[in-house]
Structure 1
């Protein structure tokens, strides 16, 4: 998916340099360890008037409500809103944000968070325990987007103005959940007064406590969104900072590259492989290629059509040219091992798939198809305009054609692709769906809950799998993660064996590597894979 735009490769991840639990910044002005810079940063113009210009290839905002937001606006929202905690990739745990500290009961069912003193919303009201309670309860009540992350919460109790306690229905890692990229935002529920808060948000307003607030929003324009510094931000503004953030929509990568070269943009969220190679050799431009928590999924329709036969699903799975597509991606992807990317609990290094055309042919023949047998006809949908998905599909269609399998592959806009996949009429659904997935917080749980647990009506369970045993195993994952990480790792591994090897409802060809370019005068940039598409601009240092 993702969300409404997951079907496009997302090239920008987070910028957050955290030291230990304290979330300290990288402030030495040097290039990040795994970035490259050609020539001198002084070779490019300085960022004008301390404005950070972020170029995206897609519209920025589809939903302004922090309770239901579940799309591209994450790149701006994480600069406008705070959550209680933030994921720290160095220690692979949650670190402080609005909450300075927290404790959990031994059984993992009671969590107490202590808030930092002095934080205020952009509306002027204090970020206190009452506000935290009201915001999370509204998000839960609306039950939209990623609101499911709060499902374990049974009750929220205000102990004092800076202390809030959560009572859970079952053990869950609430500190990690509270760092989620969506639905964990804390916001002022009184921002609209007696008016309709959702309508108030959708006019391009915000009620966050982050470093930036909305200055202007023009849907459909190239310069879609401008943020300005919030003077009372609890993180402070001492030292050099970008005081403005401008989000521009530039679908053409060559045009984006030219804007960067002229110093009219600070950051390009994605370049193709040829432009990325040029960027690496260009004076005054920094480049980064880093692994992500985002992977490609090929989902097989296990409920209707010819792929109800597990032998045919396995045949298609084994026809994928895993090594060939990795070579053709030219660094934009690394081989996947199972469903869970490296760096997350649940990753299984030994699950790397391989193409096996001989076995694919055997399976087809067993089912009455293949060379010399009946022609197997399949439908496949993928994202229009995504070169990497098109590459995968082309290789797969060619490999299957040699096995007497004809694939009708259709490039579609995500909403059209998703609506077809969710059709109430099984006959209208595709046999194979290609899409991306990344976690809602830094754990593998969302792959299993959203993509493979039974769902009625269908949302993202686009393999249409319905299995009571698998559902029950998925439902226990959060409790295992909170109480027994070793057991959780074993269960994640077991579920992947069940879904990939035994039931063959999915293939995972690669994990995305983000390739991005930015001006050499942007310092302090680091990466946090838990927040796709996000540059945490307050952490950056504009230099001459």
Structure 2
């Protein structure tokens, strides 16, 4: 069965404690940007994923690649691992997902052979491929998948929130597993495209225990874990018994060495000097430099422009941002074009107004028009209304200034972004304190702690962030705006009856027109109440040695096109199908 999300793509493109670490995976905190405030090189052009290099010649066996990623991950065991874009490059090499997205916007079986819902979408039955084994030789069975889910639903698992709707999982027969849900979810298969749907060896997990398994992972993927030196390198080698080889899924390479190199300029220079064969970036200014290098023939450049975008999230349960007038004022006060220029993205990416990009059927012109435009005069009026209100929520006397703390990581481009917001908001009379925090603290502040904050309201006012991802709109928007005490990924703490009503529509129908209308209603609600301030789409890119083939043209078992670099939020690919040209 093909489960369709109605997400179109350009040609060639492609949860708080317990769930807290998954925040790294589902909402990476750093806004997109680059180290060069002046932007990219003179030759920078808007990213067109349709222009990605096509593979040349037939697949070749052999060879080794060294891949530079933007950061390290805390480990590789589903339920413990919190991979963002760099980590998912490793995860998709070691593990296979049960389901995966296609370039046409559908979700189809991958490690599963098929899946089917019942009439009201409260149960989903998956049939597994026959003869699949884990890297330790143990068999993939329905019982193993059911045991996996039991582990992932434990309170200590960072996937407990993601899988909270799963009431039970049963092995119907050796290769058939049924997920019974607590409530309807017409988009359930899309949840199984990442760590929640990556089967792992129960023999390895039981023998080593969670922490050791997190450092010595065993999946069914095209590559076998070989070694890991934390913060230096992780090595995988070809799986000689891979189930997908006969289906054209590789692996073609003998070995891949993944190296975390957090500094953007160092990662790019490592590529240009030949120290690595491929480098990943989600910074527009670095993409601009890579475009110049590609134009000179030094590298080949693969890009992806999807739903993930640079934003500022606002804590709508914390004064003064609990008042919509203040949020609207902050939105009207910021010029997104100038913010993009600060981030080095001018000419490469464009301003955003909503969760879906213009090439998605869920994009809405009405939402784009409703989102607050740059208007400092209107911003000043709204802010003054709040300042003069004798019952203002921050407890200050009427007439006193509004104060806001803006948090961001100590990346140079993000520091400049924070300073730009400070200037825009100070211009309308807001007193802004910029606070630089490391990424773990940044995420923890947004997540909150049940020990000090049972409602998970978070300890922040305004955070730079990345928002939205690839996937079905129900899953994306449910995570972002579900009930605050129950949904760890609702970082803004914004809820409403309108959101709940329209999320219910998305959960219970696959009718395309009804789903688009529901997403538009949600978008209009968010444009008016602005819990999220949008900047621009995040460009994901890989620069590679020209000999590296098929980075963004990988396929599914049935021959459908994959999503290129669009796995998860973007910036990850299926390395099993990559080869080196002779």
TM range (shorter): 0.7 to 0.9
The whole-number CA distance in structure 2 between the counterparts of 1:243 and 1:9 is 35
For 1:489-504, what aligned pairs fall within 5 Å after superposition? 489-501=516-528, 503-504=529-530
Distance 1:48 1:242, change over 3 A: closer
The answer to whether 1:384 aligns with 2:410 is: yes
2:471 is aligned to 442
Contact 1:318 1:360 in 2 (8 A): yes
Secondary structure in 2 matching 1:292: strand
Q: For 1:36-55, what aligned pairs fall within 5 Å after superposition?
A: 50-55=63-68
Compared with structure 1, are the counterparts of its residues 446 and 411 closer, same or farther at alpha carbon in structure 2 (3 Å cutoff)?
farther
Distance 2:27 2:348 in 1: 19
Label 1:408 to 1:175 Cα distance change in 2 as closer, same or farther (>3 A).
Answer: closer
2 CA distance for matches of 1:117 and 1:88?
A: 23
> Match of 2:353, SS?
coil
Q: Which residue does the alignment assign to 2:335?
A: 321
Query: Which of residues 247, 257, 263 is equivalent to 1:246?
Result: 257
1:487 CA drift (Å): 2.5
Partner residue in 1 for 2:30: 8
Whether 1:107 aligns to 2:133 is: no
- Counterpart CA distance in 2 for 1:68 and 1:229 is 24
| Structure 1: segments with no counterpart, 5+ residues | 12-30
Task: Please give the alpha-carbon distance, in whole angstroms, between the structure 2 residues aligned to 1:385 and 1:4.
Answer: 21
Distance in 1, matches of 2:93 and 2:576, equals 8
- 1:229–1:244 contact (8 Å) kept in structure 2: yes
Q: 1:436 to 1:401 in 2, by over 3 A?
A: same
- Of the three residues 126, 141, 152, the one matched with 1:128 is 141
Q: Give unpaired runs (5+ residues) of structure 2.
A: 1-22, 34-47, 390-398, 553-563
User: Contact between 2:143 and 2:174, CA under 8 Å: does it hold in 1?
Assistant: yes
Is the aligned partner of 1:524 residue 2:568? no
Distance 1:109 1:307, change over 3 A: closer
SS of 1:333's partner is coil
Q: Distance in 1 between matches of 2:238 and 2:525?
A: 49
C-alpha distance in 2 between matches for 1:4 and 1:106: 29
Query: In structure 2, which of residues 382, 385, 388 is the aligned counterpart of residue 366 of structure 1?
Result: 385
Deviation at 1:473, TM superposition (A): 3.1
| Pairs within 5 Å for 1:89-488 | 89-90=103-104, 92-142=105-155, 144-173=157-186, 176-193=189-206, 195=207, 197-202=209-214, 204-221=215-232, 224-236=233-245, 241-270=252-281, 272-327=286-341, 328-342=344-358, 346-352=362-368, 353=371, 354-368=373-387, 374-385=400-411, 387=413, 389-421=414-446, 422=448, 424=452, 429-439=459-469, 442-456=471-485, 459-465=488-494, 467=496, 469=497, 472-473=500-501, 476=504, 479-480=507-508, 482-488=509-515
CA displacement at 1:381 relative to structure 2: 0.6
Match of 1:514 among 540, 547, 554: 540
| Alpha-carbon spacing, 1:273–1:104, altered in 2? closer, same or farther (3 Å) | closer
**Residues 257/339 of structure 1: CA separation in 2 closer, same or farther (3 Å cut):** closer
Deviates more, 1:523-532 or 1:270-279: 270-279
Partner of 2:15: none
- Could you say what the CA RMSD is over the residues aligned between the two structures, in angstroms? 3.3
CA gap of 1:477–1:74, structure 2 versus 1, over 3 A, is farther
Segment drifting more, 267-276 vs 122-131: 267-276
Q: Distance in 2 between matches of 1:366 and 1:160?
A: 64
1:129 shift after superposition: 1.9
Aligned partners of 1:377 and 1:407 also within 8 Å: yes
Looking at structure 2, the residues matched to 428 and 137 of structure 1 have their Cα atoms a distance apart, in angstroms, of 28
Structure 2 counterpart SS, 1:228: strand
Q: Report the alpha carbon displacement of residue 348 of structure 1 after superposing the two structures with TM.
A: 2.2
**SS of the residue aligned with 1:334?**
coil
CA contact (8 A) 1:293 1:530 kept: no
Deviation at 1:466, TM superposition (A): 5.4
Q: State the alpha-carbon separation in 2 of the partners of residues 48 and 405 from structure 1.
A: 60
Change (3 A) 1:492 1:348: same
* Residue-pair matches, total: 506
Question: What's the offset of the Cα at 1:116?
Answer: 1.6
Distance 2:100 2:119 in 1: 22
- 8 Å contact 2:407–2:463 — kept in the other structure? yes
Instruction: Give the 3-state SS of the residue equivalent to 2:193 in structure 1.
Output: coil
Q: CA deviation at 1:447?
A: 4.1
The structure-2 alpha-carbon separation of the partners of 1:282 and 1:142, relative to structure 1 and needing over 3 Å to count, comes to farther
Cα pair distance change 1:84/1:493, threshold 3 Å: same
- Offset of residue 277 of structure 1: 3.7
Q: For the Cα contact (< 8 Å) 2:317–2:457, is it kept in 1?
A: no
Distance of aligned partners of 1:445 and 1:295 in 2 relative to their CA distance in 1, 3 Å threshold: farther
